[in-house]
Structure 1
Amino acid sequence: TQILSVSSLLQVLFFGFGWLFFMRKLFKDYEVRQYVVQVIFSVTFAFSCTMFELIIFEILGVLNSSSRYFHWKLNLCVILLILVFMVPFYIGYFVVSNIRLLHRQKLLFACVLWLTFMYFFWKLGDPFPILSPKHGILSIEQLISRVGVIGVTLMALLSGFGAVNCPYTYMSYFLRNVTDADILALERRLLQTMDMIVSKKKRIAVAHRTMFQRGEVHNKPSGFWGMIKSVTTSVSGSESI
C-alpha cells in the first residue's frame, strides 16, 4: 500500500509538471481550448517519467522486483493504449470535426481513419521479423516492436533534420558583427580605388592623345590584323628587292 501511494503521488507530480510545461512552454503563445489534448499529453508525460523512474529504481535496487515488474507492466500497457489507440483516434476525430461536410457523422469517419491507421500500423511489421509464435497477434510485444520501429525511424529523420537545420540557424552567432565604422571604412576604400582607376584612365587617355598628335598611333598597326598586315608588307617588300 505504501509503495502504491508513493508511486501514485509521483505520477500526480509528473502529471502536474507536464501540464505546466504544456501551458507555459509549448503553447504559451497559443490559446488551447482542447483540454483533452492537455490531458493526453500530461498523462503520457507522467507515465513516461514513471518508466524512467522505474529504470533508476532498478539500478539503485529500490523496491522489490515484483512491485517494479507490476508497475512497469502497468505503465507500458497505459502508454501503448495512449499511443496506439487514443492519440490516433483523437487526431482523426479532430481532423473530421474541422470538415463541415463530415461534421454530422464525425464519429464514424474518425473510426474509419483509425482503422486505416491500424491497418498500415500492422502492415508495417511485415518486412521485419516481428511476429513470433511465442506471442499472440494482439500481445504487448507486437505493439512495442512496431512502436519501436516507428520511433527509431522518426528519431533518425529528426536527427538528420536537426543536424542540417541547427548550424544553418545558429551560424549567425559565430559571425562578426558589422558596425557602421566598418561600412564607412569600406566606402572610403571603394572611393579611393575608383579615384585611382579614374586617374589612371586619364593618364592613358592623355598618353594616347599625345601619341596621336605625334602620328604614332595613326601609322603604327594595331591589333591582330595590323600585325598580319605589317608582316605581309615586309614580305612583299623583300620579294620586290
Structure 2
Amino acid sequence: MWPFSGCGKDACAAPPRPITFTTILALVPFVAVFAAASTLAARHIYPRLSTTHNDRDGEDHVLPSHAPAALRQVHAEHGAKSMQRRAAIMTFGATVGFAATLAALILAEILEIVDARAGELTHEVTVPTLLFLLVIMVPWLECRSLVSATGQSFQRSAKGKLPRGAWGLQLMLFGGWLFVFWSLGSVVPNAPSGGKAKARGAELDTYRERITRACLERIGVVGISLMALLAGFASVSSPWHTFSDAAARRKRPITDGDVNRKQAGLEAANEMLLTKRHMLQMLEQKASEPSQGGAKSGFVGKMMGSIRGGSGDAAEMRNLRIEIAALETMENNLASNLSILKDQRNAAVRASTRMGQLFLIPSYVFSFYCVYRILATGLTTLQRSFSPSSSSFSSTDPINRFLGVLAKHWDPKLDQIAWARTISFLLSGVMLLLSANSVVQTLHLFSRWTPQFLHRHAQASLALAAGQVAATYVISSALLLRSHLPGQVSSVVGGALARGGPLMSPSFADSWFEGWFLVGGMVTATAIWIGRSVSGASDNDLGDDYGMDDMGAKRA
C-alpha cells in the first residue's frame, strides 16, 4: 500500500468527485481573495514594513538620505533584484494571501455558501502550503536574516567555496527551531495523535493527515502564545504612552525647531557614517589587490612586517570598523528619537484643537480598559492557581459578555460563555491594532539599548514576522471557533483545517493565553522601566544624543 494513497487495509476510498464548470466558478472567489491579498501585501505592505532596510541593496551599497529621487529609484530597482529580497517578498505575499484565503474558506463554510468540491480543492491547496510556509520557509528566511545580521556572508569565496561558518550557523538555528516547534506538542493536554485519535473516532487515513494535524496543533499553540504576548505588550504600551505623553506635553511642549534640529543631527550622522564606510571599502579593496612589491619581499621584509605588527592600513581598518559600529548605534538612537519627537509633535498639534481633544477621549478609554484587563487577568489567574474550577477572565469581562449576549441573541443555541472566550481572543488582535502607535514608540525605546545585530535582524525580518503572526492568528482563531461552535458548524470549521477531534480544550486555551498575556505585560513593563532608567526619563525625547543636536543646529 502506498503511503499517500487513499486505500485502507480492507477497502479503497471512493474516487474524488469530478471537477465541473460549476466547481471552477466556485473557485474564482478564493483565487480572487488570494490574488488581491498577496498583491496588496507584496506591493504595498512589504515596502512600508521594510522602509528602514531600503538604504541597502544587498551588496553593501548604501544610499545617503539626501540622494535624489532618480538615484533612489535606480537603487531600489537594483535592490529588488537580489534573490534574498525576492524570496522575502514572495514568501510574505504568499503567507498573507493563503491566510486570507483560509479565513474566507472558513467563513464561507460556516455560512454554507461554498460548493463542496470547491471547498475541498481550496483546502487541499491552502492548508498544506500555509503549513509549509509557516514551519519551513518563513523560519528559514528569518534564520538567514539573523545570521546575516551577525556579519556572516553567504556569498562564495574567491576560490568558489561555500562559507561553512554561515551555513553551519544557519542549519543549527533552523534545526533548533524545528526541535522547539515539535516539542510544543507535549504542552497540549490530551493531544490526540495516532491511537488517541482513533479512540476518539477520528480516523486519520494517511500519514499526510497525521502530519497536518500535528503541525496545526503546534501552530495553534504558537499562535495563542504570540497573540497573548503581543496583547500584553500592547496593553502596557498604550496606557504608558497615553498618560506619560500627556504629562510630557504639559511639562515642555515640543516645537518644530526641536524636530528640525534632530533631523539635521540625523543627517549629519548619516553623512559621517557614509564617509567612514566609503573609506573602509576603499581600504578593503586596496588590501585585496596583490601587492606589486610582494614578490620582491623576502625573509627580511616579512620579519620587519611582523615586528611592526601589521601594516598601517590594517590598523586603520580596525579603527574604522569600531567607529562604524558606534556610528550605527548613534544613527539608530537618533532615528528613534526623531520618530518619537514627530509623533509627540503631531499629538501636541492635534491636542491643541477642540476636535483633537474630543478624539483623545477614546484613547483614554482604551488605556483604562487595558489597565483593567491586566488587573482582572492577574486576579483570575491567581484565583485559578488556588481553585482550578474558577472562571476565566473571558467569561467575566463585561465587553466579552456583552458581545456573547449579542451572539446568543442571534442564535439562542449558541453557548454564551464559549463565544465570550472566542471573542476575548479576537479582541487581542483588535487591541494590537488600536495601540499600533504606542507599540511603535515602545519598540523605538527598546531599540536604543538593543544590540546592533538584533536591531538589523528586526528591521530585515519585520515583514516576515508580521505575515507569520497574521497567519498563525487566523489558524488559532479557527481552532478556537472549532472548539466552541455547535457540533454541525464545528465539524464544518474542522473540515477546513483537519479531520479528527478537537486539537485543544477550551480550558487549556484560556489558561495558556492568560499566562502568556501576563508574561508579555510584565516583561514590557520591566523593559520600559529599565529603558527609562538607563536613558534617563528627561533625556529620552529631547536630550542631546552624542552631541549631534549641536551639529544639527549648525547645519540647520
TM-score by length of 1: 0.63
* Structure 1: tracts of 5 or more residues without a match: 181-241
Paired AA for residue 35 in structure 2: V
Whether the aligned pair in 1 keeps the contact of 2:101 and 2:126 (CA below 8 Å) is: yes
Greater CA drift, 162-171 or 135-144: 135-144
1:157-168 equivalences under 5 Å are 157-168=229-240
Corresponding residue for residue 232 of structure 1: none
Paired AA for residue 66 in structure 1: R
* Residue aligned with 2:187, SS: coil
Partner of residue 144 from structure 2, selected from 93, 105, 114: 93
Tell me, in whole angstroms, the C-alpha distance in 1 between the residues paired with 2:128 and 2:134. Answer: 10
Paired AA for residue 214 in structure 2: Q
Paired AA for residue 18 in structure 1: A
Corresponding residue for residue 43 of structure 2: 20
Tell me, in whole angstroms, the C-alpha distance in 2 between the residues paired with 1:115 and 1:61. Answer: 42
Greater CA drift, 88-97 or 100-109: 100-109
TM-superposed CA distance for 1:20, in Å, is: 3.0
Paired AA for residue 183 in structure 2: K
Paired AA for residue 193 in structure 2: S
Corresponding residue for residue 179 of structure 2: 119
Corresponding residue for residue 194 of structure 1: none
Whether the aligned pair in 1 keeps the contact of 2:26 and 2:115 (CA below 8 Å) is: no
Greater share of helix: 1
Distance 1:91 1:141, change over 3 A: same
Corresponding residue for residue 108 of structure 2: 57
Distance 1:74 1:174, change over 3 A: same
Corresponding residue for residue 129 of structure 2: 78
Corresponding residue for residue 148 of structure 1: 220
TM-superposed CA distance for 1:19, in Å, is: 1.5
Tell me, in whole angstroms, the C-alpha distance in 2 between the residues paired with 1:45 and 1:65. Answer: 24
Distance 1:168 1:2, change over 3 A: same
TM-superposed CA distance for 1:92, in Å, is: 1.9
Matching of residue 4 in structure 1 with residue 62 in structure 2: no
Considering only CA atoms, is the larger Rg found in Structure 1 or Structure 2? Answer: 1
Tell me, in whole angstroms, the C-alpha distance in 2 between the residues paired with 1:155 and 1:166. Answer: 16
* TM superposition outliers: structure 1 runs of 4+ over 4 Å: 98-103, 135-138, 172-180
Tell me, in whole angstroms, the C-alpha distance in 2 between the residues paired with 1:120 and 1:176. Answer: 43
1:195-206 equivalences under 5 Å are none
Tell me, in whole angstroms, the C-alpha distance in 2 between the residues paired with 1:112 and 1:173. Answer: 43
Tell me, in whole angstroms, the C-alpha distance in 2 between the residues paired with 1:109 and 1:55. Answer: 39
Whether the aligned pair in 2 keeps the contact of 1:22 and 1:38 (CA below 8 Å) is: no
Matching of residue 44 in structure 1 with residue 87 in structure 2: no
Whether the aligned pair in 1 keeps the contact of 2:37 and 2:96 (CA below 8 Å) is: yes
Residue by residue over 1:55-89, the C-alpha shift from the partner in whole angstroms, topping out at 9 and shown as x without a partner, is 23223332212321331242111111001011111
Count residues in correspondence: 180
Paired AA for residue 130 in structure 1: A
Distance 1:113 1:131, change over 3 A: farther
Paired AA for residue 123 in structure 1: S
Matching of residue 169 in structure 1 with residue 241 in structure 2: yes
CA root-mean-square deviation: 2.9
Greater CA drift, 91-100 or 57-66: 91-100
Tell me, in whole angstroms, the C-alpha distance in 2 between the residues paired with 1:86 and 1:173. Answer: 40
- Identity rate of aligned residues, in percent? 22
Tell me, in whole angstroms, the C-alpha distance in 1 between the residues paired with 2:192 and 2:110. Answer: 31
Tell me, in whole angstroms, the C-alpha distance in 2 between the residues paired with 1:26 and 1:91. Answer: 15
